[in-house]
Amino acid sequence: MKAQWKVALIALAVTGLAACKNNPYDPSVSAAASAARTSDKGVDDRSPLTVITDETFLLEAAKSGMFEVEAGRLALQKTTNPNVRGFANTLVTHHSQANAEVKMLAQRRNLALPTAIPEDKLRQLETLRGLSGDRFDRAFLETVGVGTHRGDLQLFNRELKYGRDLDVKAFADKTIKLIQMHHDLAQGLLSGKSLSDFSPHQ
């Protein structure tokens, strides 16, 4: 897993080349970023972990993964910030791969996965589409980078604690490390770091 972290972080640093070290975000945009946030249904990081089935985990992972890929593609269209672009590109790559694995696991169980992004997530995308510049970048990092990945961490931890299917749990164990990395990178970018600040050893 160390090698995977190194490859992912090196790729991020390369994609974020020439990024400014100064904080590109204006605190005055926080109100607009807050407006883009919608709480994840059924996810509350203050609540204790609750029992989850392998099937429910796959369904929820599929919905979240579709949203994160679409949000990442939107960011690639809208942002001019190389750090945000690098982060968005990583989300699209990693979550596309994870979505393919979820689909394979579901097919083995004859489980039909959702084919459309949930309504609440579509509303988040519409809000993000209405923003531009630093306002978009900050809202994207807060809503998708931190908020959605916080919900993902809860979901994947529930599977690791309560799941019964060894293949599904193995997928959750492998993928949660990348999810944590995405979450931490988004928080770092919001605090003014650039991708080059993240060493492969961190």
Q: Tell me the per-residue pLDDT of 138-185, one tens digit each, with 9 for 90 and over.
A: 999 999 999 999 999 999 999 999 999 999 999 999 999 999 999 999
Do 84 and 131 touch, CB atoms closer than 8 A? no
In this predicted structure, the answer to whether residue 118 has a pLDDT above a threshold of 90 is yes
Closest Cα to residue 169, out of 74, 96, 66, 61?
Answer: 61
pLDDT at residue 192 tops 80: yes
Checking if the pLDDT of 60 tops 80, the result is: yes
| Rounded Cα–Cα distance for residues 126 and 186 (Å) | 21
pLDDT of 198: 73
CA dist., res. 101 & res. 138, Å (int): 30
- Is the pLDDT at 129 greater than 90? The verdict is yes
- The model's pTM is 0.76
CA–CA separation, 95 and 112 (whole Å): 19
Q: Cα–Cα distance between 98 and 174 in angstroms, integer?
A: 10
Write the CB contacts of 21 (distance below 8 Å, at least 6 apart in sequence): 192, 194, 197
SS3 call for 58: helix
Confidence grade of residue 6 (pLDDT, cut at 50, 70, 90): very low
H, E, C per residue of 95-154: HHHHHHHHHHHHHHCCCCCCCCCCHHHHHHHHHHHCCCHHHHHHHHHHHHHHHHHHHHHH
Model confidence band, residue 24 (pLDDT cutoffs 50, 70, 90)? very low
Top mean-pLDDT range of 24-33, 34-43, 177-186, 188-197: 177-186
Task: Compute the mean pLDDT over every residue in the chain, rounded to the nearest whole number.
Answer: 82
State residue 16's pLDDT score.
Answer: 42
Other CB atoms within 10 Å distance of the CB of residue 11: 15
With tokens 């607009």, the residue in question is: 32
Is residue 30 over pLDDT 90?
Answer: no
